[in-house]
Every structure is written in structure tokens, then in C-alpha cells.
Amino acid sequence: MDMPVGILYGIAFAIALTLALVMTPIVKKLAFAVGAIDKPNYRKVHTRIMPRLGGLAIYIAFVGAVLAVGPFIPEGLLRAYDYDMIRAILVGGTIIVALGALDDRFELSAKVKLVGQIAAACVVVFGFGVKIDLLNIPFGEAMQPIASWISIPITILWIVGVTNAINLIDGLDGLAAGVSGIAIATILIMAAIMGFVPVILLSTILLGGIIGFLVYNFHPAKIFMGDSGALFLGFCLATLSMLGFKQVAIVSFVTPLLIIGVPLSDTFFAIVRRWRSGKPIFAPDKGHLHHCLQELGFGHRRTVLIIWGIAAFFGACAIVQSTFTQSHAANWITFIVIFVLMLCLQIGAEIIGIVDNSRRRRPVLNLLLRNRLKTQAESRSE
């Protein structure tokens, strides 16, 4: 007798949550034993040596839950392509976790990590045929097929870009895990609306692993996820958010961008900031969103909760935007969502100084202020 799908999802979540709760303390001891530790420096907010490698616990929870519930998946529920998709995430994720674990221990160069990330992305694309081959561009009439010579580099660039975006925001206790969890929950809700079973299952499992790890990672953290966790979560987010392109016409071009809006926007502002200051794009600094919020006087936990709230707002926008994609007003809804978010991002960036630490260059705020002063002056003259 086949297990009801709802019960299957619940069991998968419980297994992943339990495995993460059990494995994280074990991985913590392993990190100290092998020397995978994070020492304080001028860029970091922690003041004592911390174990890294926490992503290994999330990975074990994810793989363990997938293997545990695999034999109980009702026959006919998943198609051949769905199994290829699951295998792609497992194999590519294993490469990413191995790469991140080596970096947690030996601090690999940026070039070596980039090559490893491209290799994992190539496994997904060439090994299992998972790639973006349908695109719904705002104000387009329908899903448009794109040629392989375009879809393959776009897919690889998407996976590598999102993988690194999550890694860049991993600067405070629970920040990257929480933002990733919110993004995964967004994907889960959208997949449930669409009835996309494989993404529901994988998102449920990954969310269980993240929540279990957050028990030890929220401030004050007992362990960091390290590159093994940030890269793995970024890889999973990139792959899961991309899958709608191939299977479901309701997903538009901007929806995956909204799902991971916080890490992508932080990465974009970091690139602009470093380019303007003449620094290498990959050079670390203390100008990220969480650094700016702390400079404004917010404490560690409050800063993390604020960014979680921003991530949740992006997720809600993604759900609203995708829900109305098939309506007659879909193009205008997409345009309005993009415009409002871009305006909010620009104003927020000017307020906190994420691009200009001196906060002297505020074109939008200055324009709004001039208009307000002009309106006040006109009202006085009347």
C-alpha cells in the first residue's frame, strides 16, 4: 500500500530535522579535530575560535532523508526526469560540499573554488540534462524556448552566481541559514501551488535540515556552516529555483530572482561598491548589508531578524508575482513588482550606505527631499 503523499512529506521533514539535530554536535567535534576552525579577524564579528564545517550536517540530513523516504515514494508519482533532477542535486551537491569542506579546512583560493563550482554546475547540465530551456520574459506572450548554446551558459552562470551569493551573506550567526530557509520555504509554497511534487519533497527535506542546524547556529552560534554549508545551500537554491523554467509555465523570468533577492542584491551592491573604490571584485570588505545595519546601531540578533524580514518580503513578492503570471494583468503586475522593489532597494541602499559608506551620494533621497522642500515652499507662498 502506497504511503499518502502528505504523510511522506511530513516524515521526510522529521527525518531531516532529526538528523540535523543529531549530526551538528558530531560535526562540531569533527571540525575541531581536523582543524576546520574560523579565527577572529578585523572583518569578522565573532571574538573566539569557532568550528566551521556545519554545512556537512545539513548535507548529511538532506541526503539521509532523501535516501530514507526514496523507497516509499508511491509508484508513478515521479517521472524519469524527476529522478534525474534528484540525482543531479545529490551528485552536484556532493561535489559542492566536498569543495566547501576542503575550503573550511585549507582555505582554497577563489579560482580553485570557482573551478569546482563550474564542475558541479556542468554535472547538473551535461550529466543529467537539467537546464533552463524555457523562458518567460516580462511583457512576452508565452514561454519561449531558447537554444542550447544559450541555455547551457545561462544555467551554469545561474548556478555559480547564486551559489556564491549565499556565501557572501554568511557573516552573522544564523544569517545565511535563515535567508536560505526563507527562500526554500518560498519555493516550497510555490511548488505546492503548482503541484510540482519533486520540488515539494526536496524543499521540505532541505528546510528540515536548515531548521535543525539553526538550533545551533542562531546567535550565539555554537558552530558556523562554513563554505560547506553556504555553497551547498546556494547550489540547492539555484537548482530548485531554476527547475520551474523547465516544467511550469506559471513561473516568469523574475520569480527566481525575487526568491533569492537578498543575497543577489547584496552581491550586486558589493560589486558596485568595490568597483567604485577601485578594489578587486572578490576582495572581502565590511560593507555588506549586515555590516551596514550594525553600524547603524542594531544588535546582532536584531540585524539578522531585519534581514530575515527583508528576505520574507522578497519571498512574498515572488509568490504574488508568480500567482498572477497567467492573468491578463500579469505583465503589469510584473512591472509594478520590479519597479517597487528596485525603488525600495535604491532608497534602502542610500539610507544604510551599502554602496557609499560616507552616505554622501544619495540621488533618490536628495531628489525626494528637494521635491518636498519645493512643495513646502510653494504652500507657504500661497
Beta bridge partners of 135: 144
* Residue linked to cell 547603524: 296
Q: Is 227 annotated as a binding-site member? A: yes
Q: Are the beta carbons of 208 and 58 closer than 8 angstroms?
A: no
CA dist., res. 220 & res. 123, Å (int): 37
CA 310 to chain centre: 13
* Residue linked to cell 556564491: 164
Look up residue 285 and give its amino acid.
Answer: D
Q: Is 167 annotated as a binding-site member? A: yes
CA dist., res. 185 & res. 312, Å (int): 9
3-state class (DSSP) for residue 292:
helix
CA dist., res. 138 & res. 334, Å (int): 7
CA dist., res. 354 & res. 339, Å (int): 20
CA dist., res. 24 & res. 207, Å (int): 15
CA 300 vs CA 39, 63, 188, 221: distances in Å: 18, 32, 28, 11
| Residue of 56, 55, 123, 134 whose CA lies nearest to 89 | 123
**Which DSSP state fits 121?**
H
Cell numbers placing 95: 561535489
Neighbours of 321 (CB within 10 A): 23
Q: Are the beta carbons of 184 and 200 closer than 8 angstroms?
A: no
Q: Are the beta carbons of 155 and 241 closer than 8 angstroms?
A: no
Binding-site residue set: 167, 227
Binding-site residue set for Mg(2+): 167, 227
